[in-house]
Structure 1
Amino acid sequence: MTKTKLIIVEGIPGSGKTTTAEFIKKLLDKEGIDNELYSEGNLEHPADFEAVACLSKAEYELLLLKYERFKPILESSVIKKDNNIFIHYGKIKNERGNELSEDLYNEIIKFDVCDGLSLERYHELTLKRWNEFAERASKEDKVYIFECCFIQNPLVVMMARHCTAKEYIMSHVLQIENIINKLNPKLIYYYQESVRETIKRVAEIRDKGWINFVIEYICNQAYGEKHDLNGFDGTVKFFEDRRSVELELLEKLSIDKLILDNSGYNWENCYNKIEKFLGNEL
């Protein structure tokens, strides 16, 4: 059996993705298997775009003209591929602090791959990103552990932000699946019986700013506006709708997958099943 080079953990917020991804890393570490874990929000993610802007050459040149005094910093930080100029503004801000003006950051954010570009550009750029990652990972003797970037992130961008047709979203994820098949990927998906209770629970555990941000994001995007979603109840409705799409998508995915009902947060039971599921890899 070909060993997997990619393990993916998915589920709605609060279902246990981060905890499980860390558990899997410990399993692989214990077995001496070279691995890398990329959790949600990792600025170094090799297959996702976190705080990354993409400009055309023309757009980038206009940016340099407007903010000429910051040109040396930008030129030393950008990645140029074909006609695309990528600015990892999150990393720049972390590493160089306030060397760039807030006005410039705000200008760059307008071109954020996930929250600034068109649906078509997001689709095109993310597929290229996954292709590049899969090509590189296929030549490495290493296991990657990804949390939420395979299903959750595309659904948030395409469903919440763009209110995209379900068929388009599924086609996008299925194309990613086709790209990563060479890595013999394994998918672990957490199912929660009550979306409301799960979101309520995680909102109580995390900083209050988290749920406020989620409510504002969900309700003020295209999906929220179209379906007249408001407040906590509207946010729960979105996640219920999102889960319905995810469950339908899971039926279409041919990827080797383990679907776990984690409603009771019985970690011992879940982890035993995960160890068995990944047995041949360990």
Structure 2
Amino acid sequence: MASKLILLEGVPCTGKTSGARFVASQLRGWHKNVRLFTQESPTNPVDLMNYAFLTPEQYREFPEEDRVLFPVEETENPKGYMIPLTELHESLQKELESYRFYGCQPWEVERPLMLARWRAFAKEAMESDAVWVLDGMFFQNPVCEMMMWFDLPQAEIESFMSELADIIRPLEPLIIYLESDQIERRLREVADQHDYEWLDSLIAFHTGQSAKPNEVPDLEGCVLCLEARQLVEKKLMSKLGLDRVILKNAFTDWVEAYNFIRARVYEKTMGKPSTDK
């Protein structure tokens, strides 16, 4: 079966989002129906970044006039309510801030709900005629949560990711992993192009520290976390049995990198080698 799922993965500033857009553009050029979700998309089928979770008891603590405004998704394991924050007024978003899915829930809540989300996605993707392109959603949030937030042992990380891999395996996924051995330099380059608030938030996300611009110890801590995460993700790829390609420092020569990506995606989704020269 031709692949129905292309995953762009790698640590920040390796070019995942641009790569995902490139893949989607190529697929459309080959007359494929494409569903593209980048990290900038307001919603996507698998990420729970912009959700809150309430137990039934917590849900009942909110006034009825607030509850009727919650666009809830009931869950069975564990029982409760997922609430998409982006669909709420800002005042209600603030009330639910302490119930956010990432960073506020125990792993016993996060684990089954993440897996359920991926199962629902895999079912939808299998039944659709589209090729789905996801940017940084297979590894990034699950691995960051397990490593940086919960400090789970490697065996538990591997167990969860193995279960996740089995869920998407019928979609014949291709992982395009953008590796970097220039993490700190790339972080500074991208921060210079945007602003250091972006770098602050990235450092806080990966280290839990209250970062300040140009504060070297915090940046060094973030780089160490990202290097460790990259090693874990590469080790996972060697064990999960999913088709993958690893491109090192693709940002140094996007023409060559995109030519390689184009050929692999064509072969994976069209079922035959590319004839591009």
Residue in 2 aligned with 1:190? 178
Superposed CA deviations along residues 36-83 of structure 1, whole A, max 9, x for unmatched, are: 1111143321112121012122221112xxx34323312xx1122332
Would you say the 8 A contact 1:53–1:87 is kept in 2? yes
CA deviation after TM superposition for structure 1 residue 177, in Å:
0.6
Listed as ranges, the gaps of 5+ residues in structure 1 are none
Letter in 2 for 1:193: D
Letter in 1 for 2:7: I
Would you say the 8 A contact 1:55–1:111 is kept in 2? yes
Find the aligned partners of 2:139 and 2:204 in 1 and give their Cα distance.
Answer: 21
My pick for the range that moved more, 14-23 or 205-214, is 205-214
Task: Give the structure-1-normalised TM-score.
Answer: 0.87
Query: Structure 1 stretches (4+) deviating beyond 3 angstroms?
Result: none
Q: Does 1:81 align with 2:80?
A: no
Superposed CA deviations along residues 100-137 of structure 1, whole A, max 9, x for unmatched, are: x2xx4334222222221111211111011101111121
CA deviation after TM superposition for structure 1 residue 265, in Å:
2.3
Q: Does 1:252 align with 2:248?
A: no
Residue in 1 aligned with 2:163? 175
Residue in 2 aligned with 1:91? 87
Would you say the 8 A contact 1:80–1:86 is kept in 2? yes
Following superposition of structure 1 onto structure 2, how do residues 46-125 of structure 1 map, counting pairs within 5 Å? 46-63=45-62, 67-74=63-70, 77-82=71-76, 83-92=79-88, 97-98=89-90, 101=91, 104-125=92-113
How many residues end up aligned between the 2 structures? 262
Q: Does 1:32 align with 2:34?
A: no
Would you say the 8 A contact 1:42–1:50 is kept in 2? no
Find the aligned partners of 1:182 and 1:166 in 2 and give their Cα distance.
Answer: 25
Q: Does 1:267 align with 2:254?
A: yes
Identity %: 27
> Structure 1 residues 263 and 132, CA, compared in 2 at 3 Å: closer, same or farther?
closer
Find the aligned partners of 1:208 and 1:62 in 2 and give their Cα distance.
Answer: 39
Find the aligned partners of 1:194 and 1:171 in 2 and give their Cα distance.
Answer: 30
CA deviation after TM superposition for structure 1 residue 194, in Å:
2.0
Residue in 2 aligned with 1:141? 129
Find the aligned partners of 1:157 and 1:112 in 2 and give their Cα distance.
Answer: 13
Residue in 1 aligned with 2:9? 10
CA RMSD, aligned part only?
1.9
> Structure 1 residues 21 and 264, CA, compared in 2 at 3 Å: closer, same or farther?
closer
> Structure 1 residues 178 and 159, CA, compared in 2 at 3 Å: closer, same or farther?
same
Letter in 2 for 1:253: L
Listed as ranges, the gaps of 5+ residues in structure 2 are 271-277
My pick for the range that moved more, 208-217 or 252-261, is 208-217
Find the aligned partners of 2:146 and 2:41 in 1 and give their Cα distance.
Answer: 20
Letter in 2 for 1:84: G
CA deviation after TM superposition for structure 1 residue 263, in Å:
5.2
What is the aligned counterpart of 1:232 among 185, 209, 219?
Answer: 219
Letter in 1 for 2:58: E
> Structure 1 residues 25 and 197, CA, compared in 2 at 3 Å: closer, same or farther?
same
Residue in 1 aligned with 2:118? 130
Find the aligned partners of 2:231 and 2:116 in 1 and give their Cα distance.
Answer: 27
Find the aligned partners of 1:263 and 1:275 in 2 and give their Cα distance.
Answer: 13
CA deviation after TM superposition for structure 1 residue 167, in Å:
1.8
Specify the SS of the correspondent of 1:48: coil
Task: Give the structure-2-normalised TM-score.
Answer: 0.88
Residue in 1 aligned with 2:273? none
Would you say the 8 A contact 2:23–2:265 is kept in 1? no
Letter in 2 for 1:244: L
CA deviation after TM superposition for structure 1 residue 147, in Å:
0.7
Residue in 1 aligned with 2:275? none
Find the aligned partners of 1:171 and 1:202 in 2 and give their Cα distance.
Answer: 34
Would you say the 8 A contact 1:43–1:91 is kept in 2? no
Would you say the 8 A contact 1:41–1:50 is kept in 2? no
Would you say the 8 A contact 1:47–1:129 is kept in 2? yes
Would you say the 8 A contact 2:250–2:257 is kept in 1? no
